[in-house]
Structure 1
Amino acid sequence: MPNKLQMQDWSYLKKYKKENANLPILESGQKRIVFMGDSITEFWSALCPEFFVGKPYINRGISGQTTPQILIRFRADVIDLQPSIVVLLAGANDIAGNTGPSTLEMILNNIISMAELAKANNIKMILCSLLPAYDFPWKTGSFPAEKIETFNTMLKKYADENEILYLDYYSAMVDERKGLKAAYADDGVHPNKAGYEVMAPIVEKAINEILSNQ
């Protein structure tokens, strides 16, 4: 059962409310990039703060969140910040069932809704593949590896058909079991510093590709 706080603020809109209000107004020519997602996004700032320092990167990840929660936050934590680009990495917690049962189609539909909101507000989107995971330590025996692989295929197909940049972290980080390489994570799911150091140049190449065409 959700606790009282979760029932009052299920999507945790209050987490970044103060930070959002205190962001400086963008000056002419400035570009802002929002990283949106769950724990894999949120923990990036803690483990590799240097990745964000001196750059127009805003981290709006929240640990444990599923795509319906992120969709609810999308206006407050992305659109209202007026970014040029949003980097979206989400869906693994849906597969784990964090907020109840969810099909791969339901996950994709929530991401499509966010992509359509971004497009309507002239925000370029980068759709990130889910990272590989052989199992989830908080829900062992759920066998997510095949679902993650299938979902990434679905996500890429949607991105390609709609001229959205698809970012493939998966291929760079997967092992022979379709899990996350041991060198890149301590728990099989969340990147460690070495994992984020693999991800960083991949996403920065995508960001620069979009910015060079704006």
Structure 2
Amino acid sequence: MKKIVLLSLALFAAAALHAEQPRDWAQFGRYEKQNAELAGRPVEVVFMGNSITDNWIGADPAFFEKNGFVDRGISGQTTSEMLVRFRRDVIDLHPDAVVILAGINDIAQNNGAIKLENTFGNIVSMCELAKHNGIRVVLCAVLPCDRFSWRPGATPAAAVRELNALLKRYAAEHKIPYVDYHAAFDNGAGGLDTRFSHDGCHPTLYGYTLMEPMVIEGINKALRTKKARYTTPTPNE
């Protein structure tokens, strides 16, 4: 009996200690060390995003390493979380340009329900912060997505189209290069074919290698250059 009581007290104390640990909601800590290592070094382009950006460097590290690009994607993040960490993970690095690909996790309601206009507003705020700090923006369309493996029953295709329409119009009005991944990969029903994605949302390496020339064109437009940059050869499907 005494052992049971002692074990219960130990578990309670451990749970209480864990509860006292503050939650890093926006995950400032994810790139804190990497950001410190870049202090004082020139950074040309930062990629800001969610799992699609986060997975990109893992699937194709050569694209980032050979171009000197900085990846600051965090899986699962919504635009609200990205906006909160935008200063630390983008502005403080003083890049020449930022590539923004965001919004699908808002539609998936990863942090609860959010109106599309507020998702759009968060992305606009990131663009405005970048502009205010002399950072050029490359704005990306949300890729086609007609289902979520982590939220069965959701039908996001229409919301993705609606958000992209807002982003495309904003980019045109503010003369921001717009990378239209949706138009390039849409299977006609608002989804991704299996050659581009295994789960209907996240690109395969094959998909990433097709995205790369598109975003390079956007980067060169933003920086007003014709600089030759590396893209990984597209593998067999």
Q: TM-score w.r.t. structure 2 length?
A: 0.84
Mapped pair 1:136 → 2:151: no
Mapped pair 1:120 → 2:132: yes
Mapped pair 1:42 → 2:54: yes
> Does the 8 A contact of 2:43 with 2:93 survive in 1?
no
How many residues are paired up? 209
d(CA) in 2 for partners of 1:36, 1:138:
22
Give the structure 2 partner of residue 12 of structure 1.
27
2:36 to 9, 15, 21: 21
Give the structure 1 partner of residue 193 of structure 2.
181
Deviates more, 1:58-67 or 1:31-40: 31-40
Give the structure 2 partner of residue 205 of structure 1.
217
d(CA) in 2 for partners of 1:62, 1:172:
24
> Does the 8 A contact of 1:6 with 1:12 survive in 2?
no
> Does the 8 A contact of 2:141 with 2:167 survive in 1?
yes
d(CA) in 1 for partners of 2:125, 2:192:
28
Q: CA deviation at 1:213?
A: 5.2
> Residues 5 and 170 of structure 1: is their aligned pair in 2 closer, same or farther, counting only changes over 3 Å?
farther
Quick check: which has more Rg, 1 or 2?
A: 2
Structure 1: where are the runs of 5+ without partners?
none
> Does the 8 A contact of 2:46 with 2:69 survive in 1?
yes
* Aligned sequence identity (%): 45
> Residues 6 and 156 of structure 1: is their aligned pair in 2 closer, same or farther, counting only changes over 3 Å?
farther
> Residues 195 and 143 of structure 1: is their aligned pair in 2 closer, same or farther, counting only changes over 3 Å?
same
Regions of 4+ moved over 4 Å: 3-7
1:86-97 superposed matches below 5 A: 86-97=98-109
Q: CA deviation at 1:166?
A: 1.4
> Residues 104 and 184 of structure 1: is their aligned pair in 2 closer, same or farther, counting only changes over 3 Å?
same
Give the structure 2 partner of residue 150 of structure 1.
162
Deviates more, 1:106-115 or 1:202-211: 202-211
What SS is found at the alignment partner of 1:137? coil
> Does the 8 A contact of 1:86 with 1:124 survive in 2?
yes
Q: TM-score w.r.t. structure 1 length?
A: 0.93
Root-mean-square deviation over aligned CA pairs: 1.8
What SS is found at the alignment partner of 1:152? helix
d(CA) in 2 for partners of 1:163, 1:212:
12
> Does the 8 A contact of 2:176 with 2:222 survive in 1?
no
Mapped pair 1:57 → 2:69: yes
Q: Cα deviation per residue 1:16-60 (whole Å; 9 max; x = unaligned)?
A: 00000001523xxx5510000000000000011111122220000
d(CA) in 1 for partners of 2:142, 2:224:
26
